[in-house]
Chain A
Amino acid sequence: MSLDVATLRADFAILTRTVRDEKPLVYLDSGATSQRPRQVLDAERKFLETANAAVHRGAHQLAEEATDAYEDARAKIAAFVGVDSGSISGSAGGGEIVFTKNATEGINLVAYAMSNAATAGPEMKRFTLSEGDEVVITEMEHHANLVPWQQLCQRTGATLRWFGVTDDGRLDLSNIDELITERTKVVAFTHQSNVLGTINPVRQLVAKAREVSALTVLDACQSVPHGPVDFHELGVDFAVFSGHKMLGPSGIGVLYGRRELLEAMPPFLTGGSMIELVKMEGSTFASPPQRFEAGVPMTSQAVGLGAAVDYLNSIGMDNIAKHEHELTRAAVAGLSAIDGVRIVGPGIDEDGDVHDRGGAVSFVVDGVHPHDVSQVLDSLGIAVRVGHHCAWPLHRRLGIPATVRASFYLYNQPSDVDALVAGVREAQRFFGVTDEEPANGQA
């Protein structure tokens, strides 16, 4: 591995603490939220101690410095995902990166802008939905990329359709020509499943959506933190990701929108900062990204996310992806080797490796409910996620109520995988499923 885990772990103070009776922390829940290095915390603190002010308003020196810091962060983040940041001063607009509260808000922003388009005049027609139109999503979506589209369909009379999932956790594209048709207005899907780890064929879906002039929306929450991602190269129209899953602060998410679309799209939230001209009779709106950033935005969080991007760049996204691939392969192999444990998602292929999957490794243990598995792991200091991971329809499709999910990041080490595998064996021992049949037929 070309990544010096021992050295970089020293940047994450939380990884040195112990939990549950002095057990060293084994943090395998970065898919839910990642830990933050000292460099990110320092950047936020430095900003707040030296340059804090409300951005894009005020002409005093602090206001200038705060605005520069905010827009500088935007530029770094834009470059990180291969898109345009617009003018650094921000006043000229044109940027493709919009700061939101989180990724969920980013998706809602697009969905509500499409609702608002219905009453925003004929020039907004390309964003409007009505009866007979269709929105296509997938059965493996996080609720954040599912419920907003259900709601949009309810408000507009459009129909929601979705790709199914195969038994081995891949997108079932066999009916792509029936699903994506002239009626399709939006195709929204995840880059990488937060449960299965599956990496979806973005280019194939984008190509098909373009054939019918449908807009594409990519949930990149589980991809952008873990490897190189270039939205221009992928060709998506919109994409979202969250700061706190990529070593950055919570309270900040990112919406990417293709410049030409953001320039044409009506706003979602309205108020201060997002206007061009306000009269009592009516208002006009600022150019993007300001049009979509109503009110005083989160600023130290943007600065912190900029620092997180610097940190990730200093390690190298290729190195991180490679490192996580090794951990994922070891975890999938190690867990699969245990009798009574089943990986939910792509497993080890014939070549002994894993393919087109990221570091979210979900599994079930015969006879031991996921909650109980995680409780045993917790008692050993191992933090994993348990439940349906905000992907309830996916679990229903797979016929299981819940899964245990281990997820990896750059600071995880091979010994973490060993601890996980040993912990799962301990859960089996504790609940007596290695020697006897469970009395209560749990999935």
Chain B
Amino acid sequence: MQLESMYQDIILDHYKHPHGRGLREPFDGESFQVNPTCGDEVTLRVHVDDDTITDVSYDGQGCSISQASVSVLNELVVGNTVEQAMTTMNAFVELMQGRGTVEPDEDVLDDGIAFAGVAKYPARVKCALLGWMALKAALASAGAAEAAQGVEVQ
């Protein structure tokens, strides 16, 4: 196994220098998610202004994959509409659940494509999806629930 295929430099960079970390106000929705098999956790808040996600703030503890993933999430969805964020989330979930068979679209996922290698390791897929589960639940609690429906994160 090539460790580097999982731990792309992009992932390690986000892990060591996370984007937008910390919990901020104001926020419209919040979610706490935990991976019960390993104890990794994330608290994530969304601030939605007129259908645009103006901030995603978060805090948590966990492995490099879970923490880098939520940092990438922050970069990918802040400034986008809820609908765009859902499209991005769908693409990310599809990539992660594809067991390494899905070719990621860099135009949609940007730094998120670095997680393609993680998708080959089923035990770590949950780590990568933890923050996205929190985003979905936080948007739902912010009243953007309708848009957040139809995405099944397992």
Q: Which residues of A contact B (CB under 8 A)?
A: 20-21, 369-372, 375-376, 378-379, 386-388, 392, 395, 401-402, 430-431, 438-440, 442-443
Contacts and interface: CB of A to CB of B under 8 A. Distances in A.
A376 B41 CA distance: 22
Contacts of A379: 1-3
A376 B121 CA distance: 13
Interface string B23-59: 0000000000000011111000000000000000000
10 contacts: A371-B65, A375-B6, A379-B3, A401-B61, A430-B7, A431-B64, A438-B16, A439-B16, A440-B18, A440-B67
Contact of A430 (B3, B17, B39): B3
A376 B1 CA distance: 10
A180 to B, nearest CB: 30
A440 B1 contact: no
A372 B127 CA distance: 11
A375 B15 CA distance: 16
B99 interface: no
Given A371-B62, A402-B40, 10 more contacts: A21-B2, A369-B63, A371-B127, A379-B2, A387-B38, A387-B39, A401-B41, A431-B12, A439-B17, A440-B15
Given A369-B63, A371-B124, A371-B127, A378 B38 contact: no
A173 B6 CA distance: 45
A378 B64 contact: no
B35 to A, nearest CB: 9
Given A387-B39, A402-B39, A440-B18, A20 B1 contact: yes
A443 B41 CA distance: 13
B124 A387 contact: no
Contact of B38 (A20, A21, A375, A388): A388
Contact of A371 (B2, B12, B40): B40
Contact of A378 (B1, B37, B39, B61): B1
Contact of A401 (B6, B16, B37, B62): B62
Contact of B62 (A369, A376, A392, A438): A369
User: What size tier do the contact residues of chain B reach?
Assistant: 20 to 34
A402 to B, nearest CB: 5
B123 to A, nearest CB: 9
A31 to B, nearest CB: 16
Interface of B: 1-3, 6-7, 12, 15-18, 37-41, 61-65, 67, 121, 124, 127
A404 to B, nearest CB: 11
Nearest to A387: B38
A370 B52 CA distance: 37
B124 A401 contact: no
Contacts of A388: 38-39
B87 to A, nearest CB: 29
Contacts of B16: 438-440
Contacts of A395: 39
A371 B63 CA distance: 6
Contacts of B12: 431
A21 B4 CA distance: 14
A392 B39 contact: yes
A426 to B, nearest CB: 9
Contacts of A440: 15-16, 18, 67
A395 B41 CA distance: 14
A372 B39 contact: no
A440 B60 CA distance: 11
A371 B38 contact: yes
A372 B63 contact: yes
Contacts of A431: 12, 64
A370 B18 CA distance: 19
A340 to B, nearest CB: 16
Given A369-B62, A440-B18, A387 B7 contact: no
A379 B61 CA distance: 23
A403 B38 CA distance: 9
Closest A-B pairs by Cβ, 8 of them = A371-B63, A439-B16, A20-B1, A387-B38, A369-B63, A379-B1, A388-B39, A401-B39
A21 B1 contact: yes
A430 B15 CA distance: 14
A402 B38 contact: yes
B3 A375 contact: yes
Q: Which of B16, B67, B121 has the most CB of A within 10 A?
A: B16
Contacts of B37: 387
Contacts of A443: 61
